[in-house]
Structure 1
Amino acid sequence: MIPIHSHSSQRKSLARRLRFRMLEDLRLRQGHRSRGNSQNGPKRLSAGTLRPSSRLVSSGKSLRLVLFLLLVSTPVPATAKTDFVQCGAHVKELAKNNSLPPEDIYTGPVKGPLGQAQNNENPALLLTFAACEKHCGSAPAFYKWEKASDTVTTWVLPLVGLVLQAPFESNNPRQTMFLVFRWVGSPIASMMYILWNMRVTRKCAIMVDRSIGVNERPRQASSFAALRDSLYLLSVMNQYELNICPRLPEHRIEAILRIGLFDSRPEIQRIRGRVAARIRRERCRGTVQILASLGWFLVAMAISIHRAFGDLGKNTTAHNLALGLLVCWLPVLIAATAVDRNPMDAHHVRTKLNRYLREIAVTEHIPGAFPGVAEPNIFGEFAGQGRIRWHHGAAHSMLRTLEAMPEMGRGWLEIYANTNWLTRNTYSPLLRFDSSQGLQMIASFLIVCSSSIGAFIVSYFTPTVGLGCRSGGYTIFGINAFGCLLMEMSAWVFLHPGKGRRVAQWVLRLCEFGNFCWLVYIIMAQTFGIYSSCRCMSSMWGGGTGYVNFESVQYFKSYGIERSWFLGTSITCVVSGIGILYVVEQWCTQSFLWTQDWDSAMNGLQQMRRWKRATAGPRWVFALVAACIVKAGCWVRSIFRREGLGGS
């Protein structure tokens, strides 16, 4: 490899030759002009006379060409990026020869492994921030492609592969753009809505499973099959907005939904089964591709962990590990969308559902249910996978009513086999917030927060220890994501549907776009070496002391830096691993609900029951913890309610 100073000397010699050539051309042109003026005009050259070389190209073009070459060649030595490895070797050589000025050496307080190293016989050389810029330059030392491609192949490509497996809507680029900004810029809120929908489908699957005995295998033409169709349609309807307005009041919509979903008359069951079969056929597949992308990301994470903790890495491998930890919430979110899966054509499915309910409500069984509305559309925009903010689905009220019915233990369907058990004249509001949904909010917050905390710990405690560009950038991303969640929940609580919500939505879109751009900048900065500068290497954020070291990762490992790496990696991997396992478990235990083939669905139901029997102990523990959290929340709300009544 040719050293950098040899390249700079070659460029300088080239620049000198070009300047000399330009001066020679100028002298020649001046000589021609002086001879022409002395003889009262230029002489015509004969055919055999050679033309001077300066006349082959016009003077203006020649001058512009030379100036362009000068601009290309001469500034290169002035703006060349210094390699920090070579700069560190040069500085250490100066210190060894006692040629390094004393004011360039940092002598202040030092945290972390370097602080321990300063107490030894051979302390590490620490350079002040000003001395670093003096010796190494202030511009970032951008990585060469050999180094940048390591991050590209390890993290960027797996991340792009994961995002491309997300359930986007075709032929809707505007909605797709807003959806990417929402998922990436506000991951806590997005995951919260997805986990809510997963909870609804989980309840539907549990109600279907508990409707018959443990060892029963029902036939396809049975009341169990009708219930399976009803609750599957309910989970699909939960993914759409409700068009509640003065002409379509809430209690009338609830009445028609009850009859359309749970009426036991044969003609309605036949139409309902046909609609459920069509929607099952149109459900998006793509689970294998999602699992393949998820596996690619997990392999990349394993490789990054091995390189960071093995003997192969440098400081950049630890920072690459931190980058992977920062986005560990993304595979959980993408895997969760596979459970909360959308139809291939959401608008076509909405048309089918509206036509089915309109046929039942208007023409046959509830005449005059919607006065003044010729063709009512109960369902509006598709809201699955967190697409729509402040979404209230239709399933929660129905499931609460179903759970409140007496004798709802194992085999409850036999008790209510010959009754229209959910079409009676009872009313529970559809747009009702369930306090237990706070568990999904806490879970999504923990998944995203653990990713930011793990990345922060790895980068913060990697010397130079302190808050720098990397750890500070991870903190900003986490705070922005939590801020988007707080703003969205505040708008849900304090703003009514209308102009206020529309303004809040555009404000949230701007915040999500800003956080999306910030995450993209973090990835690009880590990939191409924008963070490789004296300012970012000296951890000067938050009032840091500002010093730079040039030691290798093996030097830091001898002072136990791996403990902090292990802590950050463990926090992120444990929480994200639990999230991925939970999503996969929910897919396996709910898949019988939307499986089209009857025999495959019943085999899945039996496997799900065996799995639940094998994991009864951990399930009981988690259920107890969740119940305690819900009771604590109810207790806190009751205390605040009493204080509010006492104060009034």
Structure 2
Amino acid sequence: MGPAASYAGRIRRSSFLVLLYLSKIRSFNASTAADAGVRITDNSGHVLPLSDSVLHDATAISYGTCLSVCGSGPMSFAWDEFSQLFSAWLLPWLALISQLPFGGRHRIDNVVSIMLAVGSPALAGYSLVLTVLNSHWVMRRFHQFKQPRSGHAMHALRCLQQAPLKVLSFDLVNTLVVLRENDSWWDNIVERLDYKHTWSVSAVTNLIWVSIAFMFIVIDAFRNLKSEDYNVRGESVGVVWLWLLPVVVGWLQISPKCDAERIEKAMHDTNTKAYHVVTSDGIINGDAVPTRLYAVSLYDEGRGAVYDDEQCTSPIYNYARVFTWAHAAEAIAMAYQCAEERVGSGESSQLSSHTGSVGHTYSGVACGHSYHAHDSLRAPGVWKRISAASVMGLLLLWSTTGAAFMLSWLTPTQGLGCRAGTYLVYGVVATIVWLFMFISSILVRCEVMPTDVTHSVLSANPRLGLPGLMAISLRRIAKVLAAGNTIWIICGCIFQFSGFYNRCWCNSSVMSWGARAFSVLQTTESDVSYLHSTWAGGVVLSAVSSIFFYLFLNLYLHEPPRGR
């Protein structure tokens, strides 16, 4: 049975119940209605004087009258109608969640990633936009360099946003850039990370299913809008999940490298085959280096709970890596910039490890730049990117959740009822989750403020200070809230389709009206016209905002050349 048929069945049942309730009201005459405490209102909540004509034309009743006539319980559950509405409005979105990128080492990490994305679309949008803006920034930063493998370095950094990237020291990064033998390092890491997992048949099928189902159901809902069934439709359900489309498509376009084991193997194999050297007083020493003393590598697991989110390679955790990634990217960019300045002064930009001493030529200070690990909070442009990503993430959340809230608020009986309250709580909690995660990412950086570049690298500290403890607490609270918010929104949608919300208390918007609460049993022609414009406005608001979010991504999302 298709969507139109499912709605037809729902309308027939809803219409029957409404007619039953109205027939009870209309069976009274003015005197018996007054004795029974019946109060008739118009659809704006104004109490009408009792008369036979008013009773005959009644379309709304007071909350107390609704309880006495209809009872306090919900509409009875009907599986066939629920299953049809659930499969038409909610199931496609739940299936689309599977297309979000995961890649965590442990299954629990992937489950938490789902909870964070669904529990806070603001965080999902924030991490996505941050990833795109970081890629755009690193492309522009490296585009000016003409040195060998600078294009490979740029591409490697774009791919390693999902990894806990570590730069040991600026001198080691310099040797990675200036030694000809280390050109193969960049070749190897790019080759090993140059894989894609995007646009599978399953992903395309899910996207098409969701898009077509949403369009068809919305069209069907508007064409068959009846005065008796306005409270059982799912426009608001479709709207509140619309954020998922641009987020999924955006990640599919980026194709993030988030397979933890594959990233670690690529970095390990590349580092063991590269020609590493250690610099001391500006002299290149080609002797063997201590084990695992690499210019660029990954942090190991077990650094402590304060770094758990940085270690998880799921892309939604890019929020936690923004400072360390920017720190590492700027260190590599500065090494290339120093090489560019040496070329400008007539010196060679690259040497072989057999050339021996080159004085202080390759130190960061010698080329007019100083580099300190504790500057990660002040990496170039990082706060601009964070600000833009925050605005876009919150815009995506509140344009969809806000539209769903508006649809429910303005649907008779207008006001804060069960449906509108569900979306309001969802949006507020989702915002809190994003805020707590954002604050925790800053507190982690405040926990470790190294002063020695060589030994900094944000190493684990078994005795955490107040910033670290606060970061862990905020993060865990946020994850619990996200899990609860995920369950909340899914249950809220299910309640709407099951008829759980179709009860006097919810339909009367008691939270807004209080003692003056009333329940609209039948809409008028003017109400139907108003519902058309209201629902159209909500759908357009969420759709346009989602399209704007997607266009913003594509404004900065393009593949740079890798030729150098």
1:509 maps to 2:509: no
The structural deviation recorded for 1:590 is 2.2
Aligned equivalents of 1:318 and 1:370: distance in 2?
Answer: 72
Matched, 1:92 2:40: no
Residue 294 to residue 392, structure 1, CA distance change in 2 (3 Å) = same
- 8 Å CA contact 1:284, 1:344 repeated in 2: no
Taking structure 1 as reference, are residues 582 and 493 closer, same or farther at Cα in structure 2, changes over 3 Å only?
closer
**What corresponds to 1:51 in structure 2?**
none
Write the distance in 2 (CA, Å) between the matches of 1:198 and 1:268. Answer: 28
Structure 1 vs Structure 2 CA RMSD:
4.2
Question: Offset of 1:493 from its aligned partner?
Answer: 4.1
Determine the structure 1 residue equivalent to 2:398.
449
Aligned to 2:326: 396
2:24 aligned with 1:101 = no
The Cα offsets for residues 247-281 of structure 1, whole Å up to 9 and x where unpaired, read as: xxx6x444434543xx2544322342133112103
8 Å CA contact 1:200, 1:395 repeated in 2: no
User: What is the distance in 2 between the residues matched to 1:300 and 1:132?
Assistant: 35
Task: Map 1:194-593 to 2 at 5 A.
Answer: 194-206=128-140, 226-242=149-165, 252-257=168-173, 259-260=175-176, 263=177, 265-281=179-195, 283-286=196-199, 289-312=202-225, 315-316=229-230, 319-343=233-257, 345-357=259-271, 360=274, 378-380=298-300, 381-387=311-317, 390-397=320-327, 419=349, 425=364, 426-429=369-372, 431-433=376-378, 434-436=382-384, 437-494=386-443, 496-497=446-447, 498-544=468-514, 545-551=516-522, 556-558=527-529, 560-584=530-554, 586-587=556-557, 589-590=558-559
1:256/1:195 CA distance change after superposition, 3 Å? farther
Cα–Cα, structure 1 residues 96 and 524, in superposed 2: closer, same or farther, change >3 Å?
A: closer
Corresponding residue for residue 178 of structure 1: 112
Encode CA deviations 1:150-177: one digit per residue, 9 max, x unaligned. Answer: 3223232211221111112377321111
The CA distance in 1 between the partners of 2:390 and 2:229, in whole Å, is: 36
Residues 404 and 356 of structure 1: is their aligned pair in 2 closer, same or farther, counting only changes over 3 Å? closer
| Whole-angstrom CA distance in 1 between matches of 2:391 and 2:47 | 38
Aligned to 1:162: 96
Shift of 1:101: 2.0
Question: Which residue does the alignment assign to 1:24?
Answer: none
Q: Which amino acid aligns with 2:490?
A: V
Going from structure 1 to structure 2, the CA distance change for 1:396 and 1:510 (only over 3 Å counts) comes to same
The CA deviation string for residues 96-129 of structure 1, in whole angstroms up to 9 with x for no partner, is 44346235544568539999xxxx9996421222
- C-alpha distance in structure 2 between counterparts of 1:112 and 1:259, whole Å: 77
Contact 2:246 2:549 in 1 (8 A): yes
Task: Report if the CA contact (8 A) 2:398-2:427 is conserved.
Answer: yes
CA distance in 2, matches of 1:423, 1:579: 44
Distance 1:494 1:541 in 2: 39
1:135 has 2:93 as partner: no
1:153 matched residue in structure 2: 87
Q: Give the Cα separation in 1 of the matches to 2:323 and 2:419.
A: 40
- Given that 1:104 and 1:131 are in contact with CA atoms closer than 8 Å, whether structure 2 keeps it comes out as yes
Shift of 1:192: 1.2
Q: Name the SS for the 2:519 alignment partner.
A: strand
CA distance in 2, matches of 1:199, 1:113: 53
SS of 1:542's equivalent? helix
- 1:507 offset after TM fit, Å? 1.7
Change (3 A) 1:134 1:567: same
**Structure 1's 187 and 438: CA in aligned 2 closer, same or farther, altered over 3 A?**
same
CA contact (8 A) 1:191 1:333 kept: yes
Residue deviations 1:396-435 (CA, integer Å, cap 9, x gap)? 3466679899999xx99x9899636997513444522522
Q: Assess if the C-alpha contact under 8 Å between 1:467 and 1:539 holds in 2.
A: yes
Task: Quote the Cα distance in structure 1 between the aligned partners of 2:188 and 2:362.
Answer: 21
Shift of 1:236: 2.2
Q: Within 1, Cα distance between the matches of 2:260 and 2:546?
A: 30
Change (3 A) 1:318 1:273: farther
Verify: 1:111 aligned to 2:44, yes or no.
yes
Residues 462-471 or 528-537, more deviating = 528-537
Give % identity: 15
Give the structure 1 partner of residue 59 of structure 2: 125
Cα distance change, pair 209–253 in 1 and its aligned pair in 2 (3 A): closer
Q: Partners of 1:130 and 1:113 in 2: how far apart?
A: 14
Structure 1 residue runs without a partner (length 5+): 1-81, 213-222, 244-249, 603-648
- Corresponding residue to 1:193 among 127, 149, 159: 127
Query: What is the CA–CA distance in structure 2 between the aligned matches of 1:317 and 1:154, rounded to whole Å?
Result: 16
User: Which is worse superposed, 504-513 or 106-115?
Assistant: 106-115
Q: 1:241·1:391 contact (CA, 8 Å) conserved in 2?
A: yes
CA distance 1:389–1:402, change in 2 (3 Å):
closer
Deviation readout 1:345-389 (Å, 9 max, x if unpaired)? 322322322453466575577769999865665434244512266
Contact 1:235 1:395 in 2 (8 A): no
- The answer to whether the 8 Å contact 1:229/1:273 transfers is yes
Q: 1:553 to 1:418 in 2, by over 3 A?
A: farther
Matched residue of 2:190: which SS?
Answer: helix
Aligned-partner Cα distance in 2 for 1:541–1:461: 14
Q: 1:385 to 1:133 in 2, by over 3 A?
A: same
- Shift in Å, 1:471: 0.5
Contact residue 60 and residue 518 of structure 2 kept, 8 A: yes
Distance in 2 of aligned mates of 1:514 and 1:502: 18
Give the TM-score normalised by structure 2.
0.73
- Code of the aligned partner of 1:590: E
Segments of 5+ residues of structure 2 without an aligned counterpart are 1-11, 301-310, 352-360, 448-467
Shifted more, 470-479 versus 318-327: the winner is: 318-327
Return the alpha-carbon distance in structure 1 between the equivalents of residues 98 and 507 of structure 2.
34
Return closer, same or farther for 1:135/1:288 CA change in 2, 3 Å cut-off: same
Alpha-carbon distance, 1:582 to partner: 3.3
**CA displacement, residues 443-474 of structure 1 (integer Å, 9 cap, x when unaligned):** 10011011111111111111111110001110
Does the residue aligned with 1:419 lie in a helix, a strand or coil? coil
Closer/same/farther in 2, CA of residues 585 and 513 from structure 1, 3 Å limit: same
Return the alpha-carbon distance in structure 1 between the equivalents of residues 144 and 45 of structure 2. Answer: 56
Shift of 1:565: 1.8
* AA of the residue aligned to 1:580: Y
| 1: CA distance, partners of 2:205 / 2:250 | 15
